[in-house]
Amino acid sequence: MAKKKLNKNWLHDHINDPYVKMAQKDGYRARAAYKLKEIDEVDKLIKPGQIIVDLGSTPGSWSQYARNKLAGQEGGGIHGLIIGLDILPMEPIADVHFIQGDFREQESLERLERLLNGRKVDLVLSDMAPNLSGIAIADAARVEEIIELAIAFAQQHMKPSGALLAKCFNGTGYNEVLQHFRQAFVTVGSRKPKASRDKSSEIFLLGRTLKNPQ
């Protein structure tokens, strides 16, 4: 019964959520687009001409927002390159290259390398999150592992001057995750956009300029 009530409360909040309504109006697949939009408006992350990789891109709202920022070439198309990666399928987005697979596996990496064609990435976006169990220590370890993967990906594929924006959670294990960022990047900051739900402990870490590019 409690679970049923919880689901009903979530549904009520979701339907009445202003960001859900905005997403429907603006054509975004998820309200998460506005989290990236808020951060981008302050930090000026996305600029025409960039190569952007969106890790854990499904359902695609971050890729949609990035695509809109890179649009505006005469005759349509975008000025830049956007690559989305996810284990889950994603409905196509105009001008976004999507690779379905695990970016730790050789086949996905080879497809990525073909698209990059020797070029390095300007911006890595990661809205990835594990399935949370509710057990704080176990969940913290899963979040930390995902952050480590995103940082390792950035170190391998990003320009030294590039940036990584990654979702994590403010709670058990947060200091460890922050430490990983500080070891990898020259400047590190945290962002909590208004579009994040009040009840959510999610926070976004922004690392700029790699300390040890590969």
Q: Is the pLDDT of residue 182 over 60?
A: yes
60 annotated as belonging to a binding site for a ligand: yes
pLDDT value, residue 201: 87
Cα–Cα distance for residue pair 55/59, rounded to 1 Å: 11
Q: Is the pLDDT of residue 36 over 60?
A: yes
- Phi/psi zone of residue 10: left (φ > 0), alpha (ψ -120 to 50 degrees), beta? alpha
The tens digit of pLDDT for each residue in 70-116 reads: 996 555 789 999 999 999 999 999 999 999 999 999 999 999 999 99
**pLDDT greater at residue 101 or residue 172:** 101
62 annotated as belonging to a binding site for a ligand: yes
127 annotated as belonging to a binding site for a ligand: yes
The tens digit of pLDDT for each residue in 49-80 reads: 999 999 999 999 999 999 999 996 555 789 99
Q: What is the per-residue burial (b if ≥16 Cβ within 10 Å, else e) of 98-113?
A: bbebebeeeebbebbe
Q: Is 8 a catalytic residue?
A: no
Domains of the chain: 31-210 (3.40.50.150)
- Residue 120 burial by Cβ neighbours in a 10 Å radius (0-12, 13-18, 19+): middle
pLDDT value, residue 25: 86
Are 103 and 85 spatial neighbours (Cβ–Cβ below 8 Å)?
A: yes
Which band of pLDDT confidence, cut at 50, 70 and 90, is reported for residue 5? Answer: low
102 annotated as belonging to a binding site for a ligand: yes
Among 35, 37, 69, 167, the active-site one is: 167
**In this structure, what are the phi and psi dihedrals at residue 102, rounded to the nearest 5 degrees?**
-95, 120
